[in-house]
Amino acid sequence: MRLRAIRHRQKLTLKMLAKKAGGMSYTFLSNVETGKADPSLSTLMRLASALGVSVSELVKDPPAESKRKP
């Protein structure tokens, strides 16, 4: 998922994005970014809309060089 990269590119904090996405929990967004939580399709749609991107752009795998090593 590219949520963190897109959020950083737009210079948004987790709290700013949570508010922009309709009052979502920023703790939940943090868990989504770290892979600890899986968002529903409706949540992905709200996030994509708030960020001005498509859902497919949001969930696309990040480039290989930016993937975290286990």
- Please choose, from the candidates 17, 34, 35, the residue with its C-alpha nearest in 3D space to the C-alpha of residue 26: 17
Number of domains in the chain: 1
In a domain, 68, yes or no: no
Compute, in degrees rounded to 10, the torsion defined by CA atoms 67, 36, 20, 16.
-70
In a domain, 9, yes or no: yes
- Residue 32's pLDDT is 95
User: What are the tens digits of pLDDT across the range 22-61?
Assistant: 999 999 999 999 999 999 999 999 999 999 999 999 998 8
Please report where in the chains the tokens 């949540």 appear, as a residue.
Answer: 43
In a domain, 67, yes or no: no
Domain that holds residue 20: 3-61
- Residue 1's pLDDT is 87
In a domain, 13, yes or no: yes
In a domain, 51, yes or no: yes
44: CATH: 1.10.260.40
Whether pLDDT at 20 is above 80: yes
Whether pLDDT at 69 is above 80: no
- Residue 61's pLDDT is 80
